[in-house]
Chain A
Amino acid sequence: MSILGTRVIRTEDPRLLTAGGVYVDDLREPELDGAVRATFVRSTVAHAKITSIDTSEAESQPGVVAVLTAKDMTDVPPPPPVDEDAPPAPGPVPLAGKWQEPVLAIDTVRYVGEPVAIVLTDSTYQGEDAAELVAVDYDILPAVPSIEAALKDESLLFPAAGTNTAITGGGDVSDDSIFDGCDVVVEGDVINQRVAALPMEGRATAAAWNDGKLTVWISTQNAQISRLILTALGLAPEQIRVVAPDVGGGFGAKIGTDRDTVAVAWAAKHTGRPVRWVESRYENLVGMTQGRAQLHHVKIGGTRDGKVKAYRLEVIQDSGGYSRMGFFLPMLTNLMAPAVYDFPNVQANYKVVVTNGTPIAAYRGAGRPEATATVERALDWFAAEAGMDPAEVRRINFIKKEQFPFMTKTGAHYDTGDYETAMDQVLEAAGYAELRAEQKARRERGDVKQLGLGLASYVEITAPDPDAGETGRVDVHEDGTATVYTGSSAHGQGHHTAFAMLVTELLGIPMDKVEVIHGDTDLIPEGIGTYGSRSLQLGGSAVHNASLEVKDQAAKLAASLFEASEADVVLDTATGKWQIAGDPDKSLGWGQIAASAEGKTLTANVNFTADKSTFPFGTQLSVVEVDTETGKVTLLRHVTADDAGPVVNPILIDGQRHGGIAQGAAQALCEEVLYDADGNPLTSTLADYAAITAAELPSFELLRSETPTDRNPLGVKGIGEAGTIGATPAVQNAVIDAVAHLGVRHIDMPTTPERVWTAINDAQKGSGK
Chain B
Amino acid sequence: MIPPAFTYKRATSVDEALSLAAEIGEDAKYLAGGHSLLPLMKLRFATPEALIDIARITELSYITDKGDHVAVGALTRHHDVAGSELLKNEIPLLAHTAGEIGDPQIRHRGTIGGSVAHGDSASDLPASLLVLEATFVIRGPQGTRSVPAAEFFKGIFETALEPGELLTEIQVPKPASPNAWSFQKFTKRAIDWAMVGVAVQDQKVALINMGPVPLRAAAVESALASGASAADAAARAAEGASASSDIHASAAYREHLARVLTARALTEAASRG
| Mask: chain A, 250-289; 1 = CB below 8 Å from B; 0 = not | 0000000000000000000000000000001110000000
Subset of 6 A-B contacts with CB under 8 Å: A125-B2, A632-B186, A690-B188, A692-B189, A754-B249, A757-B253
Q: Which residue of B lies closest to A126 (CB)?
A: B2
Please name all residues of chain A whose beta carbon is closer than 8 Å to the beta carbon of B2 when the two chains form the complex: 124-125, 128
Which residues of A from 92 to 133 have beta carbons under 8 Å from B? 124-125, 128-129, 132
A757 and B190 contacting across the interface, CB-CB below 8 Å: no
Instruction: Give the contacting residue for B190; candidates A282, A693, A753, A758; CB below 8 A.
Output: A693
Indicate if the CB atoms of B186 and A682 lie closer than 8 Å.
no
Q: Determine how close the nearest CB of chain B comes to the CB of A510; give it in whole angstroms.
A: 41
A669 CB to closest chain B CB (Å) equals 8
Give 18 new A-B contacts, CB below 8 A, not counting A124-B2, A687-B39, A688-B247: A128-B1, A280-B1, A282-B1, A282-B43, A630-B260, A632-B186, A670-B188, A670-B189, A685-B43, A690-B189, A692-B189, A695-B189, A696-B189, A696-B190, A753-B186, A754-B249, A754-B250, A757-B253
CB under 8 Å from chain A, chain B span 1-17? 1-2, 4-5
Partner among A129, A688, A695 whose Cβ is within 8 Å of the Cβ of B5: A129
Report A-chain residues with C-beta under 8 Å of the C-beta of B193: 687
Q: Which residue of B lies closest to A633 (CB)?
A: B188
Q: Is B70 an interface residue (CB 8 A)?
A: no
A134-154: CB near B (< 8 Å → 1, else 0) gives: 000000000000000000000
- Contact between A693 and B191, CB atoms less than 8 A apart: yes
A343 to B85, CA, bound (A): 65
B residues near A (Cβ < 8 Å) are: 1-2, 4-5, 39, 43-44, 186, 188-193, 195, 247, 249-250, 253, 256-257, 260-261
Of all chain A residues, which has the CB nearest B1?
A280
For A688, list chain B residues within 8 Å (CB): 247
Instruction: Confirm or deny: A752 has a beta carbon within 8 angstroms of a beta carbon on chain B.
Output: yes
- Identity of the chain B residue whose Cβ is nearest the Cβ of A758 in the assembled complex: B253
Known interface pairs A690-B192, A696-B189, A753-B188; A630-B257 also in contact (CB < 8 Å) = yes
Known: A685-B43, A688-B247, A695-B191. A630 touches B186 (CB 8 A): yes
Q: How far is the CA of A670 from the CA of B257 in the complex (A)?
A: 18
- B-chain residues with CB within 8 Å of residue A125 when the two chains form the complex: 2
Q: What are the 3 tightest A-B residue pairs by CB atom distance, in nearest-first order?
A: A695-B190, A754-B253, A280-B1
Residues of A close to B189: CB separation below 8 A: 670, 690, 692-693, 695-696
A186 to chain B, nearest CB (A): 29
Between A685, A693, A754, A757, the greatest number of chain B beta carbons within 10 A of the residue's beta carbon is seen for A754
Provide the A694-731 mask, 1 if CB < 8 A to any CB of B, else 0. Answer: 01100000000000000000000000000000000000
Contact B253 A683 (CB under 8 A): no
A129 / chain B contacts, CB cutoff of 8 Å: 4-5
- Say yes or no for A674: interface residue by CB 8 A criterion: yes
Name the prevailing secondary structure of the B interface residues.
Answer: loop
**A687 to chain B: which residues have CB within 8 Å?**
39, 193
Residue of A nearest to B190 (CB): A695
Q: How far is the CA of A289 from the CA of B156 in the complex (A)?
A: 35
Closest to B259 in A: A629
Choose from A132, A690, A757 the contact partner of B256 (Cβ within 8 Å). Answer: A757
Q: Which residues of A contact B190 (CB under 8 A)?
A: 693, 695-696
With contacts defined as CB atoms under 8 Å apart, how many contacts are there between chain A and chain B in the complex? 50
- Give the secondary structure class of A's interface: loop
CB distance from A667 to the nearest CB of B (A): 14
Distance between Cα atoms of A696 and B253 in the complex (Å):
21
Q: What residues on A are CB-neighbors of B188 within 8 Å?
A: 670, 690, 752-753
Chain A positions within 8 Å of B39 at CB level: 687
Residues of B within 8 A of A280 (CB): 1
Q: B268: shortest Cβ distance to chain A, in Å?
A: 14
A448 to B5, CA, bound (A): 52
> Which chain B residues border A632 with CB–CB below 8 Å?
186
A757 to B250, CA, bound (A): 12
B106 to chain A, nearest CB (A): 12
Q: How far is the CA of A682 from the CA of B195 in the complex (A)?
A: 16
Give A281-299 as 1s and 0s: 1 = Cβ < 8 Å from B's Cβ atoms: 1100000000000000000
Give CA–CA (A129, B250) in the complex, Å: 36
Docked CA distance A129–B44 (Å): 10
Once the chains are docked, how many angstroms separate the CA of A690 from the CA of B246?
14
Contact pattern, A 745-763, Cβ under 8 Å of B = 1, otherwise 0: 0000000111001100000
**Per-residue CB proximity of A628-661 to B under 8 Å, as 1/0?**
0110100000000000000000000000000000
State in angstroms the CA–CA spacing of A695 and B261 once bound together: 21
Q: In the complex, A695→B43 CA distance in Å?
A: 26
CB-CB under 8 A from A630, the residues of chain B are: 186, 257, 260-261
- Shortest C-beta distance, B8 to chain A (Å), equals 14
Give the Cβ gap from A146 to chain B, nearest Cβ, in Å: 15
Nearest chain A CB to B37 CB, angstrom units = 14
> Which of B5, B43, B193, B247: most chain A CB closer than 10 A?
B247
A687 to B103, CA, bound (A): 13
Chain B residues whose CB sits within 8 angstroms of the CB of A758 once the complex forms: 253
A134 to nearest B CB, angstroms? 15
Q: Which residue of B lies closest to A761 (CB)?
A: B256
By a CB distance below 8 angstroms, the chain A residues around B186 are: 630, 632, 753
Query: How far is B187's CA from A695's CA once the two chains are assembled, in angstroms?
Result: 12
Instruction: Give the CA-CA distance A71 to B259 in the complex, in Å.
Output: 59
**Residues of the A chain whose Cβ atoms lie less than 8 Å from the Cβ of B44:** 132
How far is it, in angstroms, between the C-alpha of A685 and the C-alpha of B44 when the chains are bound?
A: 13
Expressed in whole angstroms, the minimum distance between the Cβ of A173 and any Cβ of chain B is 35
Q: Which residues of A contact B250 (CB under 8 A)?
A: 754
CA distance A690 to B39 in the complex (A): 17
Which residues from A are CB-within-8-Å of B249? 753-754
Q: A670-B188, A754-B253 are in contact. Are A683 and B1 (CB under 8 A)?
A: no
Query: What CA separation (Å) do A757 and B195 show in the bound complex?
Result: 14
The minimal Cβ–Cβ distance linking A436 to chain B, given in whole angstroms, is: 28
* Cα–Cα, bound, A685→B189 (Å): 15
Chain B residue at smallest Cβ distance from A682: B247
Complexed CA–CA distance, A693 and B256 (Å):
26
Contact partners of A692 in chain B: CB under 8 A? 189
Which residue of A is nearest B263, CB measured?
Answer: A629
Report which residue of A281, A630, A752, A758 has the largest number of chain B beta carbons within 10 angstroms of its beta carbon.
A630
Q: A753: which B residues are within 8 A, CB to CB?
A: 186, 188, 195, 249, 253
For B195, give the chain A residue with the smallest CB separation: A753
CA distance A174 to B172 in the complex (A): 71
Contacts of A690 in B (CB 8 A): 188-189, 192
CB distance from A742 to the nearest CB of B (A): 16
- Distance between Cα atoms of A457 and B201 in the complex (Å): 49
Shortest Cβ distance from A695 into B: residue: B190
In Å, the complex CA distance between A630 and B4 comes to 41
Give the nearest-CB partner of A627 in chain B. B260
Chain A contacts for B253, CB-based, 8 A: 753-754, 757-758
Compute how far the CA of A129 lies from the CA of B249 in the bound complex, rounded to whole angstroms: 35
Q: Which residues of B contact A683 (CB under 8 A)?
A: 247
Closest chain B residue to A672, Cβ basis: B247
- Across the interface, name the chain A residue whose C-beta is closest to B260: A629
Instruction: A632 to B253: give the CA distance in the assembly, Å.
Output: 12
Contacts of A282 in B (CB 8 A): 1, 43
In the complex, residue of chain A having the shortest beta-carbon distance to the beta carbon of B186: A630
* Cα–Cα distance between A690 and B249 once the two chains are bound (Å): 13
